[in-house]
Amino acid sequence: MTRLLIYSSSPRCRALLDGLLRHDEVSIATVGSREEFFEKCLTERFDKVVTDDVRMFMNGCNAVERIRQGQGRKAEIIVIAHDMSENTVLALLECGVHQYLSFPCSPTRLKRKLCGV
């Protein structure tokens, strides 16, 4: 079973992703604050962590290390955000983010990338 952690400060975005991705083969946890997100990363193991908070990777808080600190193996880090500049996307990938998906994105593509279905 794939375990996903979804972090967004937007309740609407969390509900949308949770509703779209939830099925028998996926276990989903959602959080609404950066503090909750890092706490979950420390206390539980996930296959993939998904966020729309690009700023946490750009402000020097060592987000990738904090995400992986509690993971026994490397969780795949996926950022979903509205179209951004090429430099921003490259910076995300260089700091350790595995994948960047831009909104708008088809529901089928999101399911395939995040759940493998």
For the range 83-87, what are the long-range contacts, defined as Cβ-Cβ under 8 Å and sequence gap of 24 or more? 84/54
What pLDDT, on a 0 to 100 scale, did the predictor assign at position 64?
Answer: 87
Structure tokens at 84: 């951004």
* 51, 105, 106 from 102: Cα distances, Å: 12, 6, 10
* Residue 82 DSSP symbol: E
Residues 6+ apart with CB under 8 A from 25: 1, 2, 115, 117
pTM: 0.87
The kind and range of the H/E element at 51 are: strand 48-51
- The predicted pLDDT at position 102 comes to 87
Which of the residues in the chain have pLDDT under 70? 60-61, 71-73, 117
Please enumerate in sequence order all residues whose Cβ is within 8 A of that of 110, keeping only pairs 6 or more positions apart, or say none. 17, 20, 21, 80, 101
Domains and CATH numbers, the chain: 2-115 (3.40.50.2300)
The pLDDT assigned to 106 comes to 85
